[in-house]
Structure 1
Amino acid sequence: MPELPEVETVRRTLKNFIIGKEITKITVHYDNIITGDTNAFVTSLTGQTIRDIDRVGKYLIFILDTQAFISHLRMEGKYNIVAASKPLNKHEHLSFLFSDGSELRYQDTRKFGRLELVNKETYRHDLPLCKLGPEPWDADPQAIYRKIHKSNLPIKTLLLDQSLMAGIGNIYANEICFRMKIHPATPGKRLSKKRVAELIDVSTEILTQAITQGGTTIHSFDANGITGLFQVQLQVHLQKNCSVCNGAITKEMVRGRGTYYCPTCQKKQG
């Protein structure tokens, strides 16, 4: 699933290609891609010009003249910018035709992604974005500590909770736990105030590094041909041996999520 760095890479890439372009036609090839009324989505956006692209957590927000819509890529969503004459592939479910003859297409092999009209002025304060916690850069250590210091949930699970901190997914949660030398199944209540502050700092550091490198290319992620490079820096996710002690990396399920860790470097605290 694209996480914050991947979505940020998509945002930056798309801004280079579509800002200032007028939408002359929208074709929806799979209605369920749209949350809400499909006809309202099409009617409201046709004739509008894309002015900016924002991001909150893993959500993209396309800002137009008087309208806005959010896009969540979920597992395998991506955007392709092509000539309108290019044949549609079977996984492209939505097309925005621009006045210059180019087309922005939303592709999603699993059809899990969603697009939805939102209020241009208040989208950060409305559903679904208002349910998100702060991104690591903006997280308050005291506030995070108050939310987890009595929790029996594994720290890995807490890192994936978008209402706690937005933007972290499975890959980066594994990397954060490894960098902190903490077992991913360690209950949140075992973290001291100092360790919570460290958790936020490490999360910020890793996500920043990943953004600089263009995200992580795992399976199908790319941003219109821009593939991520952070995968070459992954220390535990999908790895066979620990980069610190050279011991074997273990993979197991933590609350239903595939989790990589080093049993030597990451001791569990019960």
Structure 2
Amino acid sequence: MPEGPSIVIFKEEVQGFKRKKIIAVSGNTAIEKERMLNQTVVDFKSWGKHFLICFKAFSLRVHFMLFGSYRINEKKDAPARLSLQFTNGEINFYACSVQFVEGNVNDTYDWSVDVMSDEWDPVKARKKLKANPDMLVCDALLDQHIFSGVGNIIKNEVLFRIKVHPESKIGNLPPKKLSELIKEARVYSFQFLEWKKAFVLKKHWLAHTKKICPRDHIPFIKKHLGKTHRRTFYCEMCQVRY
């Protein structure tokens, strides 16, 4: 599943289609895709893991789920969920969820919870976390209403960085650790963006999919934790359970 930084990269890659008219629409989606025909793209936006194509009166939301993908100016050897043709190229979406958002997209999305947005509000994140003291930190980081855009890779890396056990409860974290959690969720997301653009992201992973802790040189624990049962890699020695 693409995390927030990957969607930001996609948004940057399609800027050449901004203010361009869609001249053909196809794909196996069940939505009324023909309503986009002859519509001009007003803007491209990202909110967490959502990619948004904005038109004058509505927007198209794309969620890549677990196995979704896209191609720009080329096709995969697979049925497209949605294909948008422009005079200067095409965007093809595969194995993803597409849905219309009516009206002004700013009325639907709260940009202050997107960790990569200029409007990100760490104070709001802190209030939401403190309102859920029994929530596990591994669940909190994946809650898109608190940390929109944070995915499993960022979760594992952030918790390793701040030395917090994934099954710690939010309410048990010292104030300093809570601050570190909020800060590093955003900091690591932008580093993720930088490394992915440079094609060196995996080289920087310290915990995700790793077998040995680079700090203590003991085996990582791998478990499927939290409400979502996502893969979690952690060190029982240096990551403190609160």
User: Same fold by TM (over 0.5)?
Assistant: yes
1:78 is displaced (CA, Å) by 1.9
* 1:222 paired residue number: none
* 1:224 paired residue number: none
Equivalent of 1:114 in 76, 93, 97: 97
1:18 is displaced (CA, Å) by 2.3
* 2:221 paired residue number: 250
- How do 1:174-193 residues align onto structure 2 when only pairs under 5 Å count? 174-193=156-175
1:79 is displaced (CA, Å) by 1.7
Equivalent of 1:103 in 90, 110, 125: 90
Higher relative contact order (CA 8 A, sep 6+): 1
1:5 is displaced (CA, Å) by 0.9
* 1:223 paired residue number: none
CA distance in 1, matches of 2:128, 2:191: 28
Unaligned runs of 5+ in 2: none
CA distance in 1, matches of 2:103, 2:199: 30
* 1:241 paired residue number: 212
Aligned partner of 1:265: which letter?
Answer: C
* 1:159 paired residue number: 141
Aligned partner of 1:230: which letter?
Answer: L
User: When the two structures are superposed, what TM-score results if normalisation uses the length of structure 1?
Assistant: 0.79
- How do 1:62-141 residues align onto structure 2 when only pairs under 5 Å count? 62-82=53-73, 89-100=77-88, 102-108=89-95, 113-121=96-104, 123-126=105-108, 129-130=109-110, 134-136=113-115, 138-141=120-123
Name the CA shift for 1:142/1:8 in 2 (closer, same or farther; >3 Å).
closer
User: When the two structures are superposed, what TM-score results if normalisation uses the length of structure 2?
Assistant: 0.87
Seq. identity, %: 22
Q: What are the superposed Cα offsets for residues 132-189 of structure 1, whole Å, 9 maximum, x if unpaired?
A: 8612362334752553365222101111111122111111111110000000011111
1:228 is displaced (CA, Å) by 4.3
Name the CA shift for 1:195/1:89 in 2 (closer, same or farther; >3 Å).
same
How many pairs align? 237
Do the aligned partners of 1:149 and 1:190 also contact (CA within 8 Å) in 2?
no
**Residues 1:8 and 2:8 aligned together:** yes
Q: What are the superposed Cα offsets for residues 29-65 of structure 1, whole Å, 9 maximum, x if unpaired?
A: 232xxxxxx23x422x111222321111111111235
Do the aligned partners of 2:125 and 2:146 also contact (CA within 8 Å) in 1?
no
Do the aligned partners of 1:251 and 1:260 also contact (CA within 8 Å) in 2?
yes
- How do 1:40-51 residues align onto structure 2 when only pairs under 5 Å count? 41-43=33-35, 45-51=36-42
Aligned partner of 1:28: which letter?
Answer: G
* 2:22 paired residue number: 23
CA distance in 1, matches of 2:72, 2:87: 14
Aligned partner of 1:22: which letter?
Answer: K
Q: What are the superposed Cα offsets for residues 234-255 of structure 1, whole Å, 9 maximum, x if unpaired?
A: 1100011112222211101212
CA distance in 1, matches of 2:154, 2:125: 21
CA distance in 1, matches of 2:65, 2:138: 19
What secondary structure does 1:183 align onto? coil
Unaligned runs of 5+ in 1: 32-37, 216-226
CA distance in 2, matches of 1:91, 1:265: 47
CA distance in 1, matches of 2:123, 2:163: 19
CA distance in 1, matches of 2:134, 2:177: 16
CA distance in 1, matches of 2:164, 2:26: 48
What secondary structure does 1:244 align onto? coil
Do the aligned partners of 2:125 and 2:147 also contact (CA within 8 Å) in 1?
no
Aligned partner of 1:57: which letter?
Answer: G
- RMSD, matched Cα: 2.3
